[in-house]
Structure 1
Amino acid sequence: MDRRTYTFLLLSAAFFFFYMSIRSQIVPPENVENDAVAQVDGDNAEQATAADAENTDAEQSDNAEANGNEDAIQSTEGDDEWFTIGSMDPASNQNLLVTFRNRGGAIERIEVTKRDSEGNLAFRRVDTQTGYLGYFAGTPSSKIDGVTVNVVGPGTPAALAKAKNGTTGIQTGDIILAIGETAIQTNSDIEAALAKTEPGHSVTVEVQREAGTGQTPVKLLFDVELSQHPLDLVRLAEDGGDDQIAGNLSRLSCLVTLAQANNKRIPSGERFMKALGDPSAQYWSASTSEGEGGSQSIKLETVIGSAAMEEIGGEPVRLARTFTVTPGSFVVDMDVEVTNLGSKPQDLAYRLEGANGITLEGWWYSNKISPNFSGAAARDIVYRTAADGHTLISGVTLLKEQRKDPENAFEGIFASDSESSAKDLKYIGVDAQYFAVAFLPEDGESALKGYSRAEAMLVANESGIEKHKERAVNVSFSLNSDSVQVAPNESFKQSLRIFAGPKEPELLASYGIGDFIYYGWFAIFSSILSGLLHVLHSVVGNYAVAIILLTVIVRGAMFPLSRNAAVNAQKMQELAPEMKKIAEKYKDDMEGRLKAQQALQKRVGFNPLAGCLPMFLQLPIFMGLYRALSVDIELRQKPFWSPTGWASNLAAPDQFMYWGDSMTDFIAGRGTGWLGPYLNILPIIVVILFITQQKLFMPPATDEQTAMTQKMMTFMTLFMGLFFFRVPAGLCLYFIASSMWGIGERMMVKKTLPSGKHFDLDADGDVLDAVSVSAKKNDGKQTLAERLMSQMQQKEPEPAVARPNKRKRPPNKKK
């Protein structure tokens, strides 16, 4: 590979990775002043709001009773409870395990529990290799040091645990006292106790269980076999683990409240009417049931009582929702029903929020592809209407806009006075790199009907999001239903579907949301390479080997071009003495030197760009493979060798060793560091091979300028290692295989090159005109390339100039 080709390759790759690293910061958000003061913990903020709302409801209830209104309908009250539908049990064939909380009456967590053909989780968490016990929604016990279990998902290791006395399963209400030798007092203690475990390991869990009224609680010792972590597709921000970002709020997904009651509506820029309180604090009654075919449902109901409704000029209202999951499906069917419990007709509408807290996996190293120039966040709002088509609203854009105007927390998508085409909503959802959660029309419908307003919003304190972590901001959306006049004891009902699953092309296409997958400018190459990789994987059974085979196929197909590039490099070495003479002759004339060099190259028929052709052909392949690794979910969680060992995810850095605690945030911070929290081995191997290839095949420097150029190339190669340090392991494998092939290829090609000179020398040692020599050998016949060059060198004939006595006199000037 000659110097020009190598320089071009390095500059192209360096520019690409530099652009990808700053694309999300092209328009940087405003700096947050006094972060220490402005930053608010999301969970505390939500709890404070909920507490205020509960106090308001209690005051309203007390006022109603104090006024002696015995016929007043009270708002629903209760204690915190958790419920589940779906299962992690392989026998259930359920793809989802959904956890609800009655305070808020909405979704707290969605775990993806689909199994592959071998019985393993098809989509596990890739940010942890520890064993999984289960999600407990745990709270510190007030009776004894321990954590109270509030929910146990069916089929989880906790539900299948075996006690020494034969009891099966940890149950709701149990208090976890210890795991192994670790005493448990908080949820963090549970995580710490499992930190050094692996899937398949067994641990002992000591719990205290109530024995009955007046009886002494009993202690049970369970043996639990841990499993892999199912992907927590939807979760509270406070449960984000290492990916938790300060400033993101913990809020339930799919909350609902009244958007309108007669002449009172939710004020612009607000989430709810203050008289009704935060929907996160509203208690709902819940009941679960099973249907045909193994489907499971939960029905949630709440009453907004007389006291609260009177403040907004209305009468009591009941809100009801039903969620249903079906085996083998990534869809949750949802019905929303609003019932007028008053004595007069009422104009009613509801507001339904979307999902939030979508998985943040890999946000600090991944580059999510976006049709927007400014790039995408880890979570974005996507929707399609007849007017706008498929549209993405970046989370970074929402954050920037709210920092400019903190009073306006929403970005409108359409409003009640918008054109009908703008309100023709096909879907709306939150899009992550490999997964999505979206609202879809009910089966058989082409659009979400009956909604008058749609808005995108942050679920975060905009001033609390740290610099360089803006991509991890939490986002969601809301829909306002059309206002409907509801007669006393009558109701209106709307249905939709919630898709919560992977971005698999065929799966998304079946629901009409195929545009969630976006490859960008290199979509054709990415699709072809993804398909070829899948074919190779079906043969060899390992994507790492498939990537290596793909490299061999590509480089093998380009071998003739590579050989021509090697011949071109040899010609360049033969011309080096002539080039040096020209450089000495035009030492102080850069323009003259360039023209003389170009004239020499034309005279001998040498094309300096011919060696770049293999690189040009490899660039789309490199970009296509990079996009495929960033988008194709089939490559996610596919290991280099072991699913629990080094390089267990080819779509992520190889993560050889964690060094985040021993390095500064500038170096190893998530989002803030140049290198990230893990030492990666494969990028180092790539850089070593690049430098080795450069040293082996670059000709020795003939002057100071060439020597300086070669030093700059070495420095650029090392600098490029910074941009390669967080690229997917699969892409590093491609570069390693390609570089090793290139080294072997050059050694083999070198033996097949012509031993003689490509250019003849005259008596003075100068290079003869290769074109004229070729013409003599061909009996005066020139090749097509020679004829084109001859045409380019011809000058246009100058126009004939008339003799002075034949020229016309100019007209006389008027006086």
Structure 2
Amino acid sequence: MAIFTAAMEPGVDAGAKQVSPERYKRMERRFVLFLVLSFAILLGYSALMQRLNPPKPQQQAAARKEREQPSAKKPKAEIPVEKPRDKPAPEIKAAIEPEPEQPEQWVTLGSADHKDPFRMLVTLTTKGAALARIELNDPRYCDIDERYGYLGHLASMSDHEGNGCLVRFVGRGTPAAEAGLKPGDVLKAIDASPVSGPKSLEAVLRGTRPGQKVQLSIVRDGKPSTLTAKLRRRPLDVVRPEGDDPLSMLLTLQRFDDLRIDHQEKEEEKEDAAAAENNGRKDAIRPRHEAVSRELDGLKLRTANWRLVESDQLYATFSRKLPEMGLEITKTYRLIVVPEQSMADKNYPAYHLEFEVEIRNIGNQSHEVAYRLDGPNGLPTEGKWYAYKVSRNWGGSGLRDFIISFDGGTPGMINATAVADGDVPPPWPDESLSFIGVDAQYFSAVLIPHRKNRAEAWFEELTPICVGKVDPKQKNWANTSCRLTSVPTTLEPNGPPLRHIMKLFAGPKRPSLLANKEYRLDELVYYGWPIFAAVAVPLTKLLHVLYAVTFNYGLAIILLTVLIRGCMFPLSRKQVIGAQKMQQLQPEIKKIQEQHKKNPEARTKAQQELFRKHNYNPLSGCLPIFIQMPVFIGLYRALMVDIELRDAPLLSNAIRWCSNLAAPDMLFDWSGFMPAWVNDGQGIFGLGPYFNLLPILTIVLFIAQQKMFMPPPTDEQSAMQQKIMQYMMIFMGLLFFKVASGLCIYFIASSLWGLGERQFLPKAAPVAAAAETRAQAKAHARQTAAKTKKS
């Protein structure tokens, strides 16, 4: 730095100002010390000022109390944050009759039977007019974590336990519907196991298996009866209720004239930040989970029961009147029917709902209105102890990440951990929004605006949200969703309503399906950087071709290995011959090392001359490894991304072991006797709740290959290197323990091929024998020369 400064001074010769190296180092250390001390002084000053001038707690409490308990002089619906400037406070519309209290009702659309002309079974509730669950009926998309018998969802898990489980709804095509179960029945027992409520029902079903026939003891209209149901494998829930978290597609008013939710939120965030600074906290202020469900005072659009206007198997319409505001809000869900001629087309675009929201002014004054809509949540967290999702950014990915795209461009992603921490950018404006939603590993649930003019702006703000409480240890699979805030719109009395229609896609990330012009979601399938995709995509297509021949992806992976290793046989043979030649040259190399101990340059030249003389290239042995690396990376990415490999068994889905090539093989469950830090699957020592056999076999074969191919050590250094390699294999065993079984099958097949291939290649002569032969040759030459001289 001193040299640079001297060179930059005008009229000064840089050579005259040259600083000695010792002085240069001292100046560098002083400069670093100056920076550290300056930074420490600034931090100390900030902390001292915060403690000397803290915000007054009494003022904070008074402000919070004033918001939560508004003055009696103000209307009930007014938030005392911003005074109206142009319009008076909204008047109460006494002429509009209030909505009568509605009981909670459940509605199902579609069917769980793949033979019906639907792709999903949808469950809706009048509470908040919310979407509770979406179940896919394709037999290829089943739950891979819960493998017990499936009867069908019959009630809310929040129902109380009592004398039986009250059946609130029965989805078409479920085993319960096929058995004849109806809403209003009380399920008393399954076989000999009593049922007291929804949780008890689930506990009993956990002891069953798919394909099992069970007797349902019920009470219908006060009379006992018995039904027979044949259980099936549980279908995958793309959207589902998750604990006490709010359901999907909940809506409320963001703005009504001068009343706005975000004003109150900002004030509370300021107070929270001030309180955090007062307490000496340095971490970011995270949004409280209660704030997600906040509404304008007096509104209960998210929690009250809406009126079910009409419904059938294809659609359901919910309505809620707001007499105090002179508004009526309507939400409609419509399911897509698959034409009979397209039933066999797995790419027919029927994996979505049409969602329509309409706000109408039924009063006698104009109002400026904006709504706030929360998107889908509760996406699957399958394989959370081993799953790894390809990330679109350097921050890694979660199991349920926020995703957004504008104008058909490359999507932006915010991982679940960042959303859980509140580490998100400012809200996006609506600039030709293409889609927004949540992206899981193999499935997605996104909202697609259905508008004629793509340039038309519907939304003022688009942002990710975290639904419900966040477990600090489980941020990676936090329940993520999206929030859409509409642009404020002025509604005239009995004038045209505010109406928006969106498609809610909830289905598999199959490229041919996503590329359909109905969706244009092909960007959801992401293999990583282009260099990875260039290998993974062709390899995935090759696997599909091999599957079409074998009808088994395990056999397809083995065939892929045979093809690759067969093509590499000439290189493998050259590698083995090179290793043998290197083994034979070891005495000469050792001799060169002894002759040029103090001259590395001469030693290197001598070794190169030796290799050139014997036509040996040390790097030739690395070529097979470099060729196999793209295959390894491509297969790894294919298992992480390709939906066809998910739930593909090696033998059969009827057994747990190796029933999913995209997951560990799971030979047996050891969670009952292993500690929690092992079972949770977090970190290198978090091995998960199952013992996996294939990674152990993979490492054993690696060690066998190492002993077979590696030449015996010729000195202490090479012996130490080989010993380190053996310990590295143990470390690799920990890394491989949660690797997908399909990848282990590739390594096992490749290792067995290598071991078998070695039997057909020539054996190398021992080093000691080779060295002895040359010594004997030299001795024989000396003896011959001596005899010649005597004669």
Q: TM-score range by the shorter chain?
A: 0.7 to 0.9
Alpha-carbon offset, residue 550 of structure 1: 0.5
- Structure 1 gap ranges (5+): 1-51, 54-58, 62-66, 115-120, 162-168, 212-216, 239-248, 307-314, 403-409, 416-421, 767-815
Alpha-carbon offset, residue 752 of structure 1: 11
- 2:166 is aligned, of 138, 148, 155, to 148
Partner secondary structure for residue 626 of structure 2? helix
Partner secondary structure for residue 498 of structure 2? strand
How large is the RMSD of aligned CA atoms in angstroms? Answer: 3.1
User: Is residue 427–residue 448 contact of structure 1 (8 Å, CA) maintained in 2?
Assistant: no
**1:93 aligned partner:** 117
Q: What does residue range 384-533 of structure 1 map to in structure 2 within 5 Å?
A: 384-386=405-407, 389-401=410-422, 411-415=425-429, 423-442=431-450, 446=454, 449-462=457-470, 465-467=471-473, 469-490=474-495, 491-510=497-516, 511-521=519-529, 522-533=532-543
**1:555 aligned partner:** 565
Alpha-carbon offset, residue 453 of structure 1: 1.2
Letter in 2 for 1:345: S
Give, in whole Å, the separation in 1 of the partners of 2:331 and 2:493.
19
Bigger shift: 173-182 or 91-100?
173-182
Q: What does residue range 707-718 of structure 1 map to in structure 2 within 5 Å?
A: 707-718=719-730
**Partner deviation per Cα, 1:256-306 (whole Å, 9 max, x = no partner):** 11121112222155544341445431221124445xxxx700001112231
Q: Check if 1:622 corresponds to 2:635.
A: no
Partner secondary structure for residue 417 of structure 2? helix
Q: Check if 1:317 corresponds to 2:327.
A: yes
Q: 1:288 to 1:333 in 2, by over 3 A?
A: same
Give, in whole Å, the separation in 2 of the partners of 1:140 and 1:349.
32
Q: 1:703 to 1:451 in 2, by over 3 A?
A: same
Alpha-carbon offset, residue 654 of structure 1: 0.9
- Structure 2 gap ranges (5+): 1-67, 70-74, 78-90, 266-290, 339-349, 780-791
User: Is residue 680–residue 688 contact of structure 2 (8 Å, CA) maintained in 1?
Assistant: yes
Q: 1:751 to 1:699 in 2, by over 3 A?
A: closer
Q: What does residue range 510-659 of structure 1 map to in structure 2 within 5 Å?
A: 510=516, 511-521=519-529, 522-585=532-595, 597-598=607-608, 600-601=610-611, 604-645=614-655, 646-659=657-670
- 2:381 is aligned, of 354, 357, 360, to 360
Partner secondary structure for residue 702 of structure 1? coil
Bigger shift: 271-280 or 588-597?
588-597
Partner secondary structure for residue 515 of structure 2? helix
Give me the identity figure in percent.
38
**1:345 aligned partner:** 366
Give, in whole Å, the separation in 2 of the partners of 1:190 and 1:139.
10
Give, in whole Å, the separation in 2 of the partners of 1:127 and 1:447.
43
Give, in whole Å, the separation in 2 of the partners of 1:591 and 1:473.
58
Letter in 2 for 1:516: L
Q: 1:679 to 1:208 in 2, by over 3 A?
A: same
**1:725 aligned partner:** 737
**2:753 aligned partner:** 741
Structure with more relative contact order (C-alpha pairs < 8 Å, separation 6 or more):
1
**Partner deviation per Cα, 1:770-793 (whole Å, 9 max, x = no partner):** xxxxxxxxxxxxxxxxxxxxxxxx
User: Is residue 161–residue 198 contact of structure 2 (8 Å, CA) maintained in 1?
Assistant: no
Partner secondary structure for residue 743 of structure 2? helix
**1:45 aligned partner:** none
**1:705 aligned partner:** 717
Give, in whole Å, the separation in 1 of the partners of 2:592 and 2:300.
80
Alpha-carbon offset, residue 70 of structure 1: 5.6
**2:785 aligned partner:** none
Give, in whole Å, the separation in 1 of the partners of 2:724 and 2:92.
87
User: Is residue 73–residue 316 contact of structure 1 (8 Å, CA) maintained in 2?
Assistant: no
**1:256 aligned partner:** 251
Letter in 1 for 2:225: L
Give, in whole Å, the separation in 1 of the partners of 2:192 and 2:76.
49
User: Is residue 76–residue 297 contact of structure 2 (8 Å, CA) maintained in 1?
Assistant: no
Q: 1:455 to 1:532 in 2, by over 3 A?
A: same
Q: Check if 1:687 corresponds to 2:695.
A: no
Give, in whole Å, the separation in 1 of the partners of 2:408 and 2:207.
53
- 1:228 is aligned, of 230, 233, 248, to 233
Give, in whole Å, the separation in 1 of the partners of 2:588 and 2:627.
31
TM-score under structure 1 length normalisation: 0.75
Alpha-carbon offset, residue 747 of structure 1: 1.6
**Partner deviation per Cα, 1:23-75 (whole Å, 9 max, x = no partner):** xxxxxxxxxxxxxxxxxxxxxxxxxxxxx99xxxxx979xxxxx998635424
- 2:673 is aligned, of 639, 662, 683, to 662
Give, in whole Å, the separation in 2 of the partners of 1:470 and 1:699.
48
Q: 1:683 to 1:350 in 2, by over 3 A?
A: same
- 2:297 is aligned, of 251, 275, 291, to 275
**1:781 aligned partner:** none
Partner secondary structure for residue 745 of structure 1? helix
Alpha-carbon offset, residue 108 of structure 1: 0.7
Q: 1:369 to 1:140 in 2, by over 3 A?
A: closer
- 2:188 is aligned, of 166, 170, 177, to 177
Alpha-carbon offset, residue 443 of structure 1: 7.4
Letter in 2 for 1:172: P
**Partner deviation per Cα, 1:648-707 (whole Å, 9 max, x = no partner):** 111111111111121112222243652111111111111111111112222222222222
Partner secondary structure for residue 322 of structure 1? strand
Give, in whole Å, the separation in 2 of the partners of 1:503 and 1:265.
38
**1:44 aligned partner:** none
User: Is residue 460–residue 475 contact of structure 1 (8 Å, CA) maintained in 2?
Assistant: no
User: Is residue 669–residue 677 contact of structure 1 (8 Å, CA) maintained in 2?
Assistant: yes
Partner secondary structure for residue 411 of structure 2? strand
Count of residue pairs the alignment pairs up: 647
Letter in 1 for 2:118: Q
**2:48 aligned partner:** none
Letter in 1 for 2:211: G
Give, in whole Å, the separation in 2 of the partners of 1:338 and 1:277.
15
**1:782 aligned partner:** none
User: Is residue 639–residue 649 contact of structure 1 (8 Å, CA) maintained in 2?
Assistant: yes
Partner secondary structure for residue 618 of structure 2? coil
Bigger shift: 497-506 or 381-390?
381-390
TM-score under structure 2 length normalisation: 0.77
Bigger shift: 716-725 or 587-596?
587-596
Partner secondary structure for residue 759 of structure 2? helix
Q: Check if 1:71 corresponds to 2:95.
A: yes
Give, in whole Å, the separation in 2 of the partners of 1:556 and 1:598.
32
Give, in whole Å, the separation in 2 of the partners of 1:140 and 1:616.
56
User: Is residue 411–residue 456 contact of structure 1 (8 Å, CA) maintained in 2?
Assistant: no
Letter in 1 for 2:229: V
Q: 1:296 to 1:616 in 2, by over 3 A?
A: same
Q: Check if 1:284 corresponds to 2:306.
A: yes
Alpha-carbon offset, residue 251 of structure 1: 1.4
Q: What does residue range 160-199 of structure 1 map to in structure 2 within 5 Å?
A: 160-161=178-179, 169-199=180-210
- 1:81 is aligned, of 105, 117, 126, to 105
Letter in 1 for 2:393: N
Partner secondary structure for residue 183 of structure 2? coil
Give, in whole Å, the separation in 1 of the partners of 2:777 and 2:353.
85
Partner secondary structure for residue 281 of structure 1? coil
User: Is residue 377–residue 471 contact of structure 1 (8 Å, CA) maintained in 2?
Assistant: yes
User: Is residue 544–residue 639 contact of structure 1 (8 Å, CA) maintained in 2?
Assistant: yes
Partner secondary structure for residue 634 of structure 1? coil
**2:177 aligned partner:** 159
Alpha-carbon offset, residue 579 of structure 1: 2.4
Q: 1:474 to 1:589 in 2, by over 3 A?
A: farther
